[in-house]
Amino acid sequence: MSAFPAVEHLVRVVFALAVLATVWGAVVAVSSRRVIRSVAGLALCSIGLAGLYYLLHAPFLALMEILIYVGAVCVTIVFAVMLAEPDETPGRESRSAARCWGGIALACGIAVFCGVCRLVLMHPWQKPQTDFPHGTVSEIGTAFLTTHAFAFELISVLLVVAILGALVVARLGRGR
Amino acid sequence: MMTFDYDKPEVYLVLTAFLLAAGVYGMVRRRTFIGILIAGELVFSAAALNFVTMNRFFAADDANGQVAVLFIMALAAAEIAIALGICIGVYRHYKTIGSKDVTELRG
User: What percentage of chain A has pLDDT greater than the value 90?
Assistant: 50
User: Sorting pLDDT into bands at 50, 70 and 90, what band is A37?
Assistant: very high
A150: pLDDT strictly greater than 90: yes
Query: Residue A133: helix, strand or coil by DSSP?
Result: coil
In a domain, B107, yes or no: no
In a domain, A40, yes or no: yes
User: What percentage of chain B has pLDDT greater than the value 90?
Assistant: 49
Phi, psi dihedral angles at B6 (to 5 degrees): -80, -10
Q: What pLDDT shows up at residue A137?
A: 86
Query: What is the rounded CA–CA span in Å between residue A80 and residue B41?
Result: 15
Contacts with B89 (C-beta within 8 Å, 6 or more apart), sequence order: A169, A170, A172, A173
What is the span of the domain harbouring residue B68?
9-94
Query: Residue B100: helix, strand or coil by DSSP?
Result: coil
Q: Do A162 and B22 touch (CB under 8 A)?
A: no
In a domain, B102, yes or no: no
Higher-pLDDT residue of B23 and B9 is B23
Q: What pLDDT shows up at residue B99?
A: 76
Contacts of B19 in chain A (CB under 8 A): 22, 26, 45
What is the span of the domain harbouring residue A38?
8-89
Do residues A13 and A85 both lie within one domain?
yes
Q: What pLDDT shows up at residue A111?
A: 93
Contacts of A73 in chain B (CB under 8 A): 41, 76-77, 80
User: Sorting pLDDT into bands at 50, 70 and 90, what band is A158?
Assistant: very high
Name the domain count of chain B. 1
Q: What pLDDT shows up at residue A132?
A: 61
Contacts of A19 in chain B (CB under 8 A): 11, 15
Q: What share of chain A is helix, strand, coil (3-state, %, to 5)?
A: 75, 0, 25
Interface A:B, Cβ pairs < 8 A:
251
Q: Do A88 and B35 touch (CB under 8 A)?
A: yes
Q: Do B76 and A129 touch (CB under 8 A)?
A: no
A162: pLDDT strictly greater than 60: yes
Q: Do A143 and B63 touch (CB under 8 A)?
A: yes
pLDDT tens digits for B67-80? 999 999 999 999 99
Query: Residue B101: helix, strand or coil by DSSP?
Result: coil
In a domain, B37, yes or no: yes
Q: Where does a domain end: A89, A124, A151?
A: A89
Most confident of A32-36, A60-64, A128-132: A60-64
User: Sorting pLDDT into bands at 50, 70 and 90, what band is B56?
Assistant: confident
Q: Do A155 and B75 touch (CB under 8 A)?
A: yes
**CATH code for position B85:** 1.10.287.3510
Query: What is the rounded CA–CA span in Å between residue B9 and residue B105?
Result: 45
Do residues A84 and A148 both lie within one domain?
no
Partner-chain residue, chosen from B19, B56, B78, that has the shortest CB–CB distance to A26: B19
Query: What is the rounded CA–CA span in Å between residue B26 and residue B20?
Result: 10
Query: What is the rounded CA–CA span in Å between residue A22 and residue A52?
Result: 9
Name the domain count of chain A. 2
Q: What pLDDT shows up at residue A172?
A: 76
In a domain, A76, yes or no: yes
pLDDT tens digits for A95-141? 788 888 889 989 999 999 999 999 988 888 887 776 666 668 888 88
Q: What pLDDT shows up at residue B5?
A: 79
In a domain, A100, yes or no: no
User: Sorting pLDDT into bands at 50, 70 and 90, what band is A7?
Assistant: confident
Most confident of A28-42, A89-103, A130-144: A28-42
Do residues A143 and A82 both lie within one domain?
no
